[in-house]
Amino acid sequence: MPQLKLSYFDFHGGRAEPIRLALAVGGIAFEDHRFGFPEFTEVRKSVPFGQVPVLHVDGVQVTQSDAILRYAGKLAGLYPTDAYQALLCDEVAYVVEEAGVKLGPSFSMKGDEQKAARVALVDGHMPVYLGWLQKQLLANGGEYFADKRLTVADLKVFVDVRGLNSGRLDHIPTDLVEKVAPALNAHMQRIAQTPAVLQYYASFK
């Protein structure tokens, strides 16, 4: 097994959290390198495009969160081997990633500017992508997004929904998911009760 070091901000969420979960669920040993936001000024000087997460694989630095997530999923047995099921898995992951890209600029905004940007998303794109995810989940049986089992797609959606419900995002109603896509909340709660996921979060208490 390769030596892995994953570098990202020190909080439960964001682009690295599905990767952390995939490796933890799969029992894959890795160095969970976390840093505070003030340290990022220095960290970004040594990473491609000034972005995290990055993964070091036997000392070689790799970028792009979805590529890293897919790799982690393969190591952990959480990525489909069937080409079509892998396509469904990737489709879901990219939809969530695209939604995050739309939300991203608002993090550097303040006051009324941030409020206006996020309200526009709540009234526009967010219900659309959440509704699409719910439709895909139900079309695939209602429990998992692909392969009729836990995959990295489920972990990606789990982290996203958990973040939207958390109350940490100003101007994003904590009941948004429940209103527009309640099946995603049920999915999130089910994934949260997976023994390996429970164990992962319990380790931080």
Domain residue extents for the chain: 4-78, 83-194
Q: What are the pLDDT digits (tens) for 146-204?
A: 999 999 999 999 999 999 999 999 999 999 999 999 999 999 999 999 999 999 999 98
Which letter, b or e, does each residue of 75-87 get, where b requires 16 or more Cβ atoms within 10 Å of its Cβ?
bbebbbeeeebbe
Q: What are the pLDDT digits (tens) for 85-102?
A: 999 999 999 999 999 999
Cβ atoms within 10 Å of 133's Cβ, excluding its own? 25
Q: How many Å apart are CA 160 and CA 96, to the nearest integer? A: 7
137 touches 187 (CB < 8 A):
yes
pTM higher than 0.85 = yes
For domain 4-78, say whether CATH 3.40.30.10 is its number. yes
Q: How many Å apart are CA 123 and CA 53, to the nearest integer? A: 30
Fold of the domain spanning 83-194: Glutathione S-transferase Yfyf (Class Pi); Chain A, domain 2 (1.20.1050)
DSSP code at position 45 = G
